[in-house]
Amino acid sequence: MAFAKEEVALAMKLTADGGSSTEEEAAIAMKLTEDGGSEDEEEEPALPVNLLEHHDGSCSEEADGGLGGWASAGSSTLSVHHDHAPPPLAATAEDVPCAHRRKPSGRYVLAAHRADEKDGLCREITCAPKPKVTYRVAGWVALEGGPSADSGHPVHVEVRTHEGARVGGGVLVAEPGKWAEIKGAFRVDEHPRRAEVYVHGPPAGVDIKVMDLRVCAVDKIARLRHLRKKTDKVRKRDVVLKFNPRSEDGNDDAAAAAVKGASIRVVQVENSFPIGACISKSSIQNPAFVDFFTKHFDWAVLENELKWYYTEPVQGQVSYADADELIAFCDRLKKPVRGHCIFWAVENSVQPWVRALNTDQLRAAVESRIRGLVARYSGRFPHYEVNNEMLHGAFFRHRLGDDIDAHMFRETAAIDPAPALFVNDYNVESANDPNATPEKYVALITDLQRRGAAVGGIGVQGHVTHPVGDVICDALDKLAATELPVWITELDVSAADEAVRADDLEVVLREAFAHPAVEGIMLWGFMQGHMWRSHGQLLNADGTISQAGNRFMGLRQEWTSHARGKVDANGHFKFRGFHGKYVVELAAGAGGKQVRRAFDVHKGDAPLVVDMNL
């Protein structure tokens, strides 16, 4: 058995400088290249190590009355039950080995008589988690009894160390009477003496049921294999270059014969999947920043300079000078600019003079802001984020009524119909925020559309910590049901350890690039000293490239197609390449005359046949 060359390269990269977070992961990666194995052959994978089990694989049920290691947290009382109609097997990920073979057991632990939101159940992680390894929390929860809620109740799955520090976990919103899949992740920086999982969150009186909770290390190699195949299907296409030479003297047969066997080189000059970054007035004064941005990014977004608090910090004193300077900078580099943002829904991001206005004054100020900004830049921005972070803030809605958000979209579209109008929010992809579940995001979008808002895209910010691929993919799948394009709009990963940061960045980039609903990625900064989050840089302050920067550049190179060869006897040259713009160079005839042509590869399932008339 042998892996494809690309897969071996991915495995080897994990063992390269900065590529793997642990020696164990490096050994796994090297094993791929030593043992081989065909991705088309079914292998019998080893069962994952569940850190909630004892070293002998047992849960000591006899010793604890059948509770399998669970204990009460707070005032709750625990009991064991069996559901004869367990939840259907969820579409869990390649991140959890053998997940597809693990049917829900139906056996669950019930936490009843809860007197507080913090009451619930806990369980010790008996096998200590290893530092800098990402772990996946998976299982099912359900609720019963207590006060009803149309949107369900949040359930928190927290992982805490012996000091009580929360190191990760997840949050879901569960509806009473329905099983919901737990999705969580965590990582520790140092060996903990003890770690526990806590499950809590619903109001007092609501019982919590937990079934088949597992804590397993993420299988990066399995996920990379899966994403490589998915990326090939989603982002690439078979191409046939068909040469039909014409001779000036009418001897077309001779011209065709001269082309057969000619050397050919195909170079991709632009990928149709843009990756951009935010810029600021200060960052473009740094030559190292400008050089990296110019070479490695396709689009730009202004970090702050277009926001209302920046352009009008004092009522009536409006200035777009800094925004104009940055837009002119991007125009010179021929890089499109996203419009971020017209409004910001979170109250503490609204400047004081706006918060001090009465209702009529605020409505007039909103109308003035829309007219002033949107008319000034009409036709300049391909995207606008209209009212930022509506899942986490409702300043304008509380003051001006439920329709104001949709009104902002309607008025923007009326003044400038060209840009796609985006919603934009954070934590949607992380499964750690009850206010920002994919379901709530879809409900927000649906309500805007019902009110006549022309929502043209979904922004998923992506300020992530210890990301897990299948959790991100699950969120993207749910957003894709809207049939709207999705952009990762503000991506940054924060990890002091450079190798961990590089791995985390790769997780998000690969998931986004492989997902058919995602149409672009914007990094929220990339250089130390010019970023909102610390420990997220691709480029260090001294201009040197970090491990994350090298990983980023490697992925961009991997996602670019080049091909060399010779034209076959039928006058064809075949290759499979990423969607985007290409240039072909052909050396034909006895003198090896160079012929150069440009062509585009668009999405499509059938092979693309391009007539290359010479």
Question: What does DSSP assign to residue 45?
Answer: P
What value does the mean pLDDT of the chain take?
Answer: 88
- Would residue 595 count as lying in a domain? no
- Cβ-proximal residues to 285 (8 Å cutoff; 6+ apart), any chain: none
Catalytic residue at 94?
no
Which band of pLDDT confidence, cut at 50, 70 and 90, is reported for residue 588?
low
By mean pLDDT, which of 255-264, 472-481, 588-597 is the weakest? 588-597
Q: How far apart, in whole angstroms, are the C-alpha atoms of residue 99 and residue 468? A: 15
- Would residue 168 count as lying in a domain? yes
Tell me the residue type at 236: K
pLDDT at 46 over 60: no
Output phi, psi for 329, to 5 deg: -60, -45
Tell me the residue type at 25: E
- Would residue 125 count as lying in a domain? yes
SS3 of the chain: helix, strand, coil, percent, to 5: 30, 30, 40
Q: How far apart, in whole angstroms, are the C-alpha atoms of residue 266 and residue 258? A: 19
Q: Greater confidence, 23 or 538?
A: 538
What is residue 251's predicted lDDT score, i.e. its pLDDT? 57
Q: How long a stretch of residues is the chain?
A: 614
123: CATH:
2.60.120.260
Strand ordering across the sheet containing 593-601: 562-566, 263-271, 580-588, 593-601
- Would residue 202 count as lying in a domain? yes
Which band of pLDDT confidence, cut at 50, 70 and 90, is reported for residue 8?
very low
What is residue 252's predicted lDDT score, i.e. its pLDDT? 57
The count of domains in the chain is: 1
What is residue 137's predicted lDDT score, i.e. its pLDDT? 92
Residue tagged active-site, from 490, 498, 506, 511: 490
- Would residue 172 count as lying in a domain? yes
Q: Which stretches of 67-144 are DSSP H helices?
A: none
For the segment 152-163, what is each residue's pLDDT rounded down to a tens digit?
899 999 999 877
Catalytic residue at 389?
yes
What is residue 26's predicted lDDT score, i.e. its pLDDT? 44
pTM exceeds 0.85: yes
Which band of pLDDT confidence, cut at 50, 70 and 90, is reported for residue 255?
low
How much is the average pLDDT of 280-298? 98
- Would residue 95 count as lying in a domain? yes
Residue tagged active-site, from 25, 303, 312, 389: 389
Residues facing residue 214 across a β-bridge: 138
How much is the average pLDDT of 71-94? 80
What is residue 89's predicted lDDT score, i.e. its pLDDT? 61
For the segment 103-124, what is each residue's pLDDT rounded down to a tens digit?
889 999 999 999 999 999 999 9
Domain range for 105: 70-218
pLDDT at 404 over 90: yes
Q: How far apart, in whole angstroms, are the C-alpha atoms of residue 48 and residue 53? A: 11
In a 13 Å sphere around the CA of 541, the CA atoms on its Cβ side amount to 6
- Would residue 302 count as lying in a domain? no
pLDDT at 589 over 70: no
- Would residue 104 count as lying in a domain? yes
Which band of pLDDT confidence, cut at 50, 70 and 90, is reported for residue 126?
confident
How much is the average pLDDT of 391-405? 98
pLDDT at 9 over 60: no
Pairing of strands 275-279, 593-601: unpaired
Quick check: 212 and 148 in contact, CB under 8 A?
no
What is residue 128's predicted lDDT score, i.e. its pLDDT? 84
Which band of pLDDT confidence, cut at 50, 70 and 90, is reported for residue 92?
very low
